[in-house]
A and B are shown apart, each in its own frame.
Chain A
Amino acid sequence: MADQSDVENALVAIIANALYPDGTAAPSAIGNLCRVYRGMPSAPALDPDLAAGNVNISVLADEVQKNVTRYPRIWQSVAPVPASLACVVTSTSVSFSGACVVGQLAGVAVNGTIFPYAIQVNDSPATVASNLAALLRQAGWLVDYAGTSLNIPGAEMFAARVVQGAGPLQEIKRQEQEFSITFWCPDPASRDASGALVDQALAIPQFIALADGSAARLIYAASDVQDGNADAVLYKRIIRYRAEYPTTLAQTTPAMLFGSAGFTANTAFVDTFNV
C-alpha cells in the first residue's frame, strides 16, 4: 500500500539524484555537500553543517490534504516494465549496470536485513548504488561505495537483486496532499542553486513511482524564501508540491525482493529457507 512515507521517500530519491547525478562518490551538482532526508533537522546537527557550508534539504508531509477518492474498487494489473537494470553479486559486493526504468525495485539484503529502493525517473546505476549505500550507512554498516558498485566488508550473508513491477493492485482511497521541501542553506547562493535544480527535477515528471508499484501525480504548489534566520547564518527556501496518490491493496507483495519459503516433501514440512 502506498503511504505518505512512500511519497516522501520518492521525493528524497529524486532530489538526491538531481543533486548527485553521478552518485555521492562525485561532488554535488552545486558544489556544496548536500544532505537530503525525511524529517526535520535538529539545531545541534544543522549548525555545524551551516558553518561548514553544507546544504540540508528536508522533506515533510503537510497537513494540507483533500480526500479525492473517485475510482471504483476493482483490481487492476500494473503494466510490466522491462528488466533493463541488472546487478552482479560477488561475495559481499554488488555492481549495477544497464538502464533504470521506473517500476523496478533494487535492493540488498545484509545479514537478513533488507534495504529496498524504488527506481525513480532520474535514476542511473550510479545513483541506485549511491542511494542504497546511504540506506546501509544509516543502518550502521561500513560501506565501500564507488561508481556503480558497493561493497559491505562486514556482511556475513549478502544478497542483491533487481525485480520488476508489481502485481495487481486495488485502489481503496485516494488523497491529494502537500509536501514541503525545505532548503536549509548557509548562504543565498547555495539556496538559489539548489532550489532551482530541485524545483526543475520535481517539475519534470508528471508521475513519480511509489514502492508498491502505484504512482503519484506531482503538481507544483508554492515556493517562498525566508531570511528570518539570517542572523544564525541560515537561509531557507520552502518549495511545496502537491501529490495525488492512492492507497492500495496488493494481491502479492510487490516489494518482495527477498523472502522466506517453506519446503515440504511427502506432505511433511522440511524447513524454511531464505530466498
Chain B
Amino acid sequence: MRLAVALVSPGGSVNAPSGFGVPYRQAWADWSYLQVGDYLAGPEGCVFVAAIEPPRPMLVVMTNAVLDLWRPGGAAFAGANAYGAPLPAGQAKLLSEFPASLLVGGIGDRTRAGLADDTRVPGFIALLPAVACVQPRVADFITNERAERFTVTAAELVGGVWRLSLVQAVS
C-alpha cells in the first residue's frame, strides 16, 4: 500500500535535524490503514509504528539493523545427554530478519575470556515490533546482519513494541 507520510522530529519541530542516535519520529499519515507494529518503507528509510494515539500524530521508530532472535538449547532428553551447555546446533531461531532499531545504550559489561585485550563491551537497546507468539527471555541472544551477537539482559513489552536491553557478546 502506498501512503503519504510526513516524518518530523520527536518534538514536532521541522526547524532542526533530529538528534543523532535518536530513533523516534513523529509521523503524519492516514492511520486508519495502520496498526502498531506495521512497517513503513520509503525514501527516509524503514520505520515501524510504535504508537497510535489519535488525534496525536503516530510515534514511529527508525530502523538501522536487521535482527534475528535466538534461544539457546540445552539437554533435551530424560537420562543421559551428550552435553548440557548451549551448542550452536541446538539454537532455535524465534524471529528472522526483523528490521529494528539497535543503538548503544543501557548498561555494558566486561569480557571474561581472559584475553590480553579484554575490554568493556557496550550495552545496546533494541526496539522492534512485538510478535504475539514469541516471548523474549533473559539470556536469549540476538544476531544482526553483520553477524554480531548480543545477549538479552532485559525484555520489556510496551504497547506493541519490545524494548530489549542487550550486552554485546565478545570473546
Contacts and interface: CB of A to CB of B under 8 A. Distances in A.
A38 B79 contact: no
A33 B78 contact: yes
Interface residues of A, number: 34
Nearest to B81: A37
A163 interface: no
Nearest to B138: A43
A76 to B, nearest CB: 30
Interface in A18-49: 19-20, 23-24, 28, 33-47, 49
B71 interface: yes
Contacts of B72: 42, 44-45
B151 to A, nearest CB: 10
A99 interface: no
Contact of A138 (B78, B81, B85, B86): B81
A257 B140 CA distance: 40
A20 B84 contact: no
A134 interface: yes
A120 B46 CA distance: 60
Interface residues of B, number: 21
Contacts of B73: 42, 45
Residue in B72, B77, B79, B82 whose Cβ sees the most chain A Cβ within 10 Å: B79
B40 to A, nearest CB: 33
Given A45-B73, A137-B77, A38 B139 contact: no
Interface of A: 12-13, 16, 19-20, 23-24, 28, 33-47, 49, 56, 58, 130-131, 134-135, 137-140
Interface of B: 71-86, 89, 137-140
Given A38-B84, A134-B80, 4 more contacts: A35-B74, A41-B75, A56-B84, A130-B80
21 contacts: A12-B80, A13-B80, A16-B80, A20-B78, A24-B77, A35-B78, A35-B79, A36-B79, A37-B75, A39-B84, A43-B137, A44-B72, A44-B74, A45-B74, A56-B75, A130-B80, A131-B79, A134-B77, A134-B80, A134-B82, A135-B82
